[in-house]
Amino acid sequence: MGGSKKKGMAQMEKTQDQSDKKEEPGQQKKGKSKTIAEKRPRGLQAPEIGDPKFLGEVQKMGAITPYSLANQFNLRLSVAKDVLDELEKRKLITLVGGNARIRIYQPAAA
């Protein structure tokens, strides 16, 4: 009772022609060539929080979000959130705003 409608002769010929074109080797596709962006694996290891180079980079940032930290240091978001929590515990950054989904920090005044 259900199911798709039976295709007509013209429609069946069109689909047959299309499948024949796909099978022919040596033909290049016409159109835009897509460049594939290189995927970099995200790090699971958090950077050393006591490292002066890492702390210097964090202190230079105006507003610090988990996304900005993850992008800059090539981390996963969950790892970046953990790093920010640890930095806040050590009073190196202060929470300025945000909500349950995102938190915004700034470097602590020295």
- The whole-number pLDDT of residue 105 equals 95
Q: Is residue 99 part of a domain?
A: yes
Identify the CATH number of the domain in which residue 75 sits. 1.10.10.10
Q: Using a cut of 0.75, tell me whether the model's pTM lies above it.
A: no
**Is the dihedral angle over the CA atoms 58, 61, 64, 70 positive or is it negative?**
negative
Rounded to 5°, the CA angle 55-56-62 comes to 100
Residue 106 pairs in a beta bridge with 94
- The whole-number pLDDT of residue 46 equals 77
Overall domain count for the chain: 1
| The residue type at 10 | A
Q: Is residue 38 part of a domain?
A: no
Domain containing 82 equals 52-107
- Give the pair of three-digit tokens for residue 103: 């938190």
- The whole-number pLDDT of residue 92 equals 92
Give backbone dihedrals phi and psi of 95, rounded to 5 degrees, phi first.
-75, 125
Q: Are strands 93-98 and 103-107 parallel, antiparallel or unpaired?
A: antiparallel
Q: What is the mean pLDDT of each run of 10 residues along the chain (110 residues)?
A: 87 89 65 67 76 91 93 91 93 92 88
Residue at token pair 């074109």: 21
Q: Is residue 4 part of a domain?
A: no
**What is the rounded CA–CA span in Å between residue 20 and residue 54?**
58
- The whole-number pLDDT of residue 33 equals 59
